[in-house]
Protein backbone atom coordinates (compact mmCIF):
# COMPACT_ATOMS: atom_id res chain seq x y z
CA UNK A 1 0.00 0.00 0.00
CA UNK A 2 1.53 3.28 -1.03
CA UNK A 3 0.94 6.88 -2.10
CA UNK A 4 -1.95 8.67 -3.69
CA UNK A 5 -4.12 6.67 -6.08
CA UNK A 6 -7.41 6.83 -7.92
CA UNK A 7 -9.73 4.17 -9.24
CA UNK A 8 -13.32 3.77 -10.40
CA UNK A 9 -15.77 2.55 -7.78
CA UNK A 10 -16.97 -0.87 -8.95
CA UNK A 11 -20.54 -0.07 -7.80
CA UNK A 12 -21.05 3.57 -8.80
CA UNK A 13 -18.52 4.08 -11.60
CA UNK A 14 -17.31 7.27 -9.87
CA UNK A 15 -13.65 8.09 -9.38
CA UNK A 16 -12.38 7.70 -5.81
CA UNK A 17 -9.03 8.85 -4.43
CA UNK A 18 -6.84 7.65 -1.59
CA UNK A 19 -4.54 4.83 -0.56
CA UNK A 20 -4.53 1.61 -2.63
CA UNK A 21 -4.05 -2.03 -1.74
CA UNK A 22 -5.03 -5.45 -2.99
CA UNK A 23 -6.58 -7.56 -0.25
CA UNK A 24 -7.51 -11.17 -0.94
CA UNK A 25 -7.50 -10.42 -4.68
CA UNK A 26 -9.78 -7.36 -4.35
CA UNK A 27 -8.57 -3.90 -5.40
CA UNK A 28 -9.42 -1.37 -2.69
CA UNK A 29 -8.93 2.34 -2.11
CA UNK A 30 -9.06 3.72 1.44
CA UNK A 31 -9.39 7.28 2.64
CA UNK A 32 -6.59 6.78 5.19
CA UNK A 33 -3.56 4.47 5.31
CA UNK A 34 -3.94 4.21 9.08
CA UNK A 35 -7.54 2.99 9.16
CA UNK A 36 -7.90 0.19 6.63
CA UNK A 37 -11.35 -0.78 7.86
CA UNK A 38 -12.88 2.67 7.48
CA UNK A 39 -14.80 3.08 4.22
CA UNK A 40 -12.82 0.84 1.84
CA UNK A 41 -14.08 1.16 -1.73
CA UNK A 42 -13.72 -1.71 -4.17
CA UNK A 43 -12.44 -0.37 -7.48
CA UNK A 44 -12.10 -1.71 -11.02
CA UNK A 45 -8.51 -3.03 -11.06
CA UNK A 46 -7.78 -1.78 -14.60
CA UNK A 47 -8.80 1.77 -13.61
CA UNK A 48 -6.26 2.16 -10.79
CA UNK A 49 -3.57 4.76 -11.37
CA UNK A 50 -0.91 6.26 -9.11
CA UNK A 51 -0.42 10.00 -8.86
CA UNK A 52 2.79 10.79 -10.74
CA UNK A 53 3.62 14.10 -9.05
CA UNK A 54 3.36 16.94 -11.53
CA UNK A 55 0.19 18.69 -12.58
CA UNK A 56 -0.87 19.60 -16.09
CA UNK A 57 -0.92 23.21 -17.32
CA UNK A 58 -4.39 23.68 -15.76
CA UNK A 59 -3.26 22.53 -12.31
CA UNK A 60 -4.90 19.09 -12.57
CA UNK A 61 -3.09 16.20 -10.82
CA UNK A 62 -1.68 13.69 -13.31
CA UNK A 63 -2.15 9.95 -12.72
CA UNK A 64 -0.88 6.83 -14.46
CA UNK A 65 -3.55 6.04 -17.04
CA UNK A 66 -4.16 9.67 -17.97
CA UNK A 67 -3.98 10.71 -21.59
CA UNK A 68 -2.21 13.98 -22.24
CA UNK A 69 -1.71 16.28 -25.18
CA UNK A 70 1.75 17.86 -25.15
CA UNK A 71 2.81 20.60 -27.58
CA UNK A 72 6.06 18.87 -28.45
CA UNK A 73 5.20 15.15 -28.17
CA UNK A 74 1.50 15.02 -29.05
CA UNK A 75 -1.04 12.65 -27.50
CA UNK A 76 0.42 10.19 -25.00
CA UNK A 77 -0.73 7.88 -22.22
CA UNK A 78 1.02 8.14 -18.85
CA UNK A 79 2.32 4.97 -17.20
CA UNK A 80 5.16 3.57 -15.10
CA UNK A 81 8.19 2.33 -17.03
CA UNK A 82 9.93 -0.53 -15.19
CA UNK A 83 12.98 -0.39 -17.46
CA UNK A 84 13.71 3.27 -16.75
CA UNK A 85 12.16 3.35 -13.24
CA UNK A 86 10.19 6.49 -14.01
CA UNK A 87 6.78 7.68 -15.15
CA UNK A 88 6.65 8.06 -18.88
CA UNK A 89 4.39 8.77 -21.81
CA UNK A 90 3.81 6.37 -24.64
CA UNK A 91 2.37 7.52 -27.95
CA UNK A 92 0.14 5.53 -30.33
CA UNK A 93 3.21 3.70 -31.66
CA UNK A 94 4.44 2.96 -28.10
CA UNK A 95 7.35 5.38 -28.41
CA UNK A 96 8.67 6.23 -24.95
CA UNK A 97 9.20 9.73 -23.49
CA UNK A 98 10.05 10.47 -19.85
CA UNK A 99 7.25 12.43 -18.20
CA UNK A 100 9.81 14.98 -17.00
CA UNK A 101 10.41 15.98 -20.66
CA UNK A 102 6.87 17.23 -21.28
CA UNK A 103 6.77 20.96 -21.83
CA UNK A 104 3.18 22.00 -21.29
CA UNK A 105 0.89 18.96 -21.14
CA UNK A 106 -2.89 19.06 -20.86
CA UNK A 107 -4.82 16.08 -19.53
CA UNK A 108 -7.49 15.31 -22.13
CA UNK A 109 -8.83 12.04 -20.72
CA UNK A 110 -7.79 8.66 -19.39
CA UNK A 111 -7.46 5.09 -20.63
CA UNK A 112 -10.54 3.94 -18.68
CA UNK A 113 -13.06 6.54 -19.86
CA UNK A 114 -11.52 7.62 -23.18
CA UNK A 115 -9.55 4.77 -24.82
CA UNK A 116 -10.61 6.08 -28.24
CA UNK A 117 -8.19 9.01 -27.80
CA UNK A 118 -5.31 6.60 -28.38
CA UNK A 119 -6.67 5.11 -31.60
CA UNK A 120 -5.62 6.27 -35.05
The structural domains of the chain, ordered by start, are 2-47 (no CATH), 49-118 (2.30.30.290)
Task: Identify the CA nearest to 61 among candidates 9, 8, 5.
Answer: 5
Alpha-carbon span 73 to 96, nearest angstrom: 10
Q: How many helices (H) and strands (E) does the chain have?
A: 0, 11
Alpha-carbon span 19 to 109, nearest angstrom: 22
Per-residue model confidence as pLDDT tens digits over 3-59: 699 999 999 999 999 999 898 999 999 887 666 667 889 999 999 999 987 789 999
Q: How many CB atoms lie within 10 A of CB 10?
A: 15
Amino acid sequence: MNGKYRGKDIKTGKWVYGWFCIWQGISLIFDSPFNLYNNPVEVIPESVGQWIGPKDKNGVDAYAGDIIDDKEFGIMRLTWCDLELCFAGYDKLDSFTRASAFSNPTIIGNTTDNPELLKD
